[in-house]
Amino acid sequence: MSIDVSTELVIDRPIERVADYSANPDNAPKWYESIKAVEWKTAKPLKAGSRVVFTANFLGRTLVYTYEVVEFVPRELLVMRSVKGPLPMETTYVWRATSDGKTHMTLRNRGFPTGFSRAAGPLMAIAMRRANRKDLRKLKQLLEVKP
């Protein structure tokens, strides 16, 4: 059984602001509720082949996983896959400018649970969907604050 959760939101900011901020792993703890720490394993800036370790709390557990960027088209697409961690996972961000200068962002997580995680797959999908919605709302709130 695989998990495939996709969440979308329109943020009232230009694509440059939204994509540049959300694609930067250093900002992840500011808008992802579960992510507590980020450690770069390769040199900045982000590009295909970059590796980043995330420490997160999810469903009452501390998870440490390493993502590798497999595709990055600035301000269009970011695809990362876990190369080390408790659950094989792929995370995708897609950004599209709207006709009125806002940004439509899609956050997609696909996972392939094994072992105990496999049995908990449906629960994990529900929790992941809820967390993704909350995280995108937090991103929207952070970026839409007027200076």
Rounded distance between C-alpha atoms, residue 146 and residue 142, angstroms: 9
Bridge partner residues of 72 (DSSP)? 78
Q: pTM of the prediction?
A: 0.90
| Architecture field, domain 3-143 | 2-Layer Sandwich (3.30)
Rounded distance between C-alpha atoms, residue 93 and residue 78, angstroms: 5
Q: Give the pLDDT confidence of 47-97 residue by residue, as tens digits.
A: 999 999 999 987 678 889 999 999 999 999 999 999 988 778 999 999 999
Of 39-53, 86-100, 119-133, where does the model show the most confidence?
A: 39-53
